[in-house]
Copies of this chain bind each other. A is one copy, B any other.
Amino acid sequence: MAETATATAKPNLDKREAILAAALRLIARFGLHNAPMSAVAREAGIAVGTVYLYFPSKEAMINALYLHVLEERNSFWRREPPAATDSPPDARAALWETWHTLARWHLEHEEGSNLIAQCRASGILSDETRAFEQSMDARALVLYEQAVAEGHLRSMPRYVLWALLAGPVYALVQMRDAGETEITEEILRETFDGVCRALLP
């Protein structure tokens, strides 16, 4: 028994993706509960048993899905060059890129955004998953320290920064998902205006 339940490398990689995509769709539509493995398999076009060739359990699948979605968001988020272009180091424009990209992802990827919220609130995430997530955040932290050092951002504890930057995005998405309002570009701009006042020197 030298094996491990962790990485499932050999079998078709596309199939793993298909399972995760199917699970994401169903969980976003019906909730973490009410998304039975049988339905996930059907949605992915495979048999139930096959899912268990790729993930040792439903819980493990969901944790993997959570990290997968987070990674997608972060790579989408950091595709934008923060201020690479050059001449005028316009702090507000750079912050707009950062913030608007984050907001756009959450608004455009309703399913992924909802999955993140569901996983975080439901206590299904393992310590391992949480630790991995923190290690992902660590990289973003560096950019933040740098921005502060260059005087582009007010100095504050990183948790405060994150709360002021991402908190309003989460709140907007939550209101939209509750059907309370549409999030127009106008609302985004006005919210960003507040975020700027909070974060810029």
Measuring CB to CB, which residues of chain A are less than 8 angstroms from any residue of chain B? 29-33, 114, 117-118, 120-125, 130, 133-134, 156-157, 159-160, 162-164, 166-172, 174-175, 177-181, 183, 186-187, 190-191, 193-195, 197-199
Q: Please indicate the chain B residues that have their CB under 8 angstroms from the CB of A195 in the complex.
A: 164, 198
Cα distance A58–B47 in the bound complex, in angstroms? 31
Q: Please indicate the chain B residues that have their CB under 8 angstroms from the CB of A157 in the complex.
A: 186-187, 190
Are the CB atoms of B181 and A159 closer together than 8 Å? yes
Cα distance A175–B166 in the bound complex, in angstroms? 12
Within 8 Å by CB of A187, from B31, B120, B159, lies B159
Cα distance A195–B180 in the bound complex, in angstroms? 23
Q: Please indicate the chain B residues that have their CB under 8 angstroms from the CB of A187 in the complex.
A: 157, 159-160
Q: Please indicate the chain B residues that have their CB under 8 angstroms from the CB of A190 in the complex.
A: 156-157, 160
Q: Can you sample 25 A-B contacts with CB below 8 Å?
A: A29-B123, A33-B33, A117-B121, A120-B178, A121-B121, A121-B122, A122-B122, A156-B190, A156-B194, A157-B190, A159-B183, A160-B187, A160-B190, A163-B168, A163-B169, A163-B171, A163-B175, A163-B191, A163-B194, A164-B194, A164-B195, A168-B168, A170-B171, A197-B197, A197-B198
Cα distance A174–B179 in the bound complex, in angstroms? 22
Cα distance A193–B78 in the bound complex, in angstroms? 28
Are the CB atoms of A160 and B118 closer together than 8 Å? no
Q: How often does this chain occur in the complex, in copies?
A: 2
Please give me the residue from chain B that is nearest to A119 by CB atom: B121
Which of A33, A171, A179, A180 counts the most chain B CB atoms within 10 A? A171
Are the CB atoms of B160 and A166 closer together than 8 Å? no
Which of A133, A193, A194 counts the most chain B CB atoms within 10 A? A194
Are the CB atoms of A172 and B159 closer together than 8 Å? yes
**Given the contacts A33-B32, A117-B121, A164 and B178 also touching, CB distance less than 8 Å:** no
Which of A29, A172, A199 counts the most chain B CB atoms within 10 A? A172
**Given the contacts A157-B190, A159-B181, A174 and B120 also touching, CB distance less than 8 Å:** yes
